[in-house]
Amino acid sequence: MKAVRIAGDPRRLRQAAYMPIGDQLDAIADMARALREQGFSLPPKTAEWLEHCERVKAQHPKVLPRQA
């Protein structure tokens, strides 16, 4: 069986294809929040991380540009 070679560095190709890390973290936080709201018990470190994320977002809310 012959090995198949992919042109280019797969790490760079994957990095370019993935969503930005901030968007990935937001998606994970959304999932943790949804699980918590459904009554699931989050691991302590996950609950602490989620609370931290929520505090940061509350302290620095996203300001949407005004529409003309």
Instruction: List pLDDT tens digits, range 25-47.
Output: 999 999 999 999 999 999 999 99
What phi-psi label fits residue 27: left (phi over 0), alpha (psi between -120 and 50 degrees) or beta?
A: alpha
What is the pLDDT, as a whole number, of residue 6? 66
What is the pLDDT, as a whole number, of residue 9? 87
- On the question of pLDDT at 61 being above 90, the answer is yes
Q: Which residues contact 25 (CB under 8 A, 6 or more apart)?
A: 53
d(CA 43, CA 54): 17
**Looking at 6-10, 14-18, 19-23, 33-37, which range is the least confident one?**
6-10
d(CA 11, CA 7): 12
What is the identity of the amino acid at 27?
Answer: A
d(CA 30, CA 12): 27
pTM metric for this prediction:
0.72
